[in-house]
Amino acid sequence: MLRALIFDVDGTLADTERDGHRVAFNRAFADAGLDWHWDVPRYGELLRVTGGRERILHFMESAEANIPAAERETLARALHARKTAHYLRIVDEGSVQLRPGVARLLSEAHAGGLTLAIATTTSRANIDALLAHTLPPGALGWFSVIGAAEDAPRKKPDPQVYEFVLEQLGLAPQECLAIEDSSAGLQAASAAGVRTIVTITDYTRDQDFSGALTVLSDVGERDAPARVLAGSAAGTDVIDVAQLKAWHAQG
């Protein structure tokens, strides 16, 4: 029986990467006097490395970064802290909105008695800011457990953050459903034994989603129906709790 929905944040609750995180990284680089610039396609490649600090460290290994190995860890930490400050400012300005249907689905699930949780590689501050700016007051309290970067140092596709959330929830993986946007997220949830639906983004649409219960454009709204891209097409345009329960039961 389905008891809990576990949501990823970046790409799933909101399309945060291109106009949120990417811009914040570039501002942090400029602040530090570095001439690095991650354009939209380049950032898409870098997204293969999950976790912002890990992404910076990965970039530092390239010849164009030109940072001595001994200095990389300290600089990556400083740049990432600065990047988080920029990201919080971008969210405060209202530039990052929830994806279509997400606020509706969260509030329906909460009202319907399903437990809600979050499993993400991003930092806790980023989640709190996003939820505070995009959901009704008090909605942070809808989430029984929030698993973030601070709780799980091994980033997706490692299942650590899902294992943390399951343990905190006191639920078996079979009682939960994950909602993810990326192959790394799908792999993390699946490795923890949690069945998963995927809502793609422009950055993730060509990734491998084998093993997902279904792959969707998004969860849909009455005036902007969801499209089923792969897997079970049960014929509903607006994904609601009943539909999620049906997919979960089939899986």
Cβ closest to Mg ion, residue 8 vs residue 158: 8
Examine residue 190 and tell whether it contacts ligand XBP (CB under 6 A): no
Examine residue 10 and tell whether it contacts Mg ion (CB under 5 A): yes
Strands 176-180 and 143-147: unpaired
| Residue (of 232, 227, 230) closest to 250 by Cα position | 232
**Residues of span 166-205 touching Mg ion by CB under 5 A:** 181-182, 185
DSSP 171: -
The single residue among 2, 6, 11, 161 that binds Mg ion, judged by CB under 5 A, is: 11
| Residue (of 171, 145, 173) closest to 159 by Cα position | 173
218 binds, among Mg ion, ligand XBP, none (CB under 5 to 8 A by kind): none
- Residue type (1 letter), 134: T
100 binds, among Mg ion, ligand XBP, none (CB under 5 to 8 A by kind): none
DSSP 215: E
Q: How far apart are CA 151 and CA 236, in angstroms?
A: 36
Residues belonging to the active site: 8, 10
SS3 state of residue 94 = coil
Examine residue 86 and tell whether it contacts ligand XBP (CB under 6 A): no
Residues near ligand XBP (CB under 6 A) are 8-11, 17, 21, 50-52, 120-123, 126, 149, 156, 182, 184-185
Residues near Mg ion (CB under 5 A) are 8, 10-11, 181-182, 185
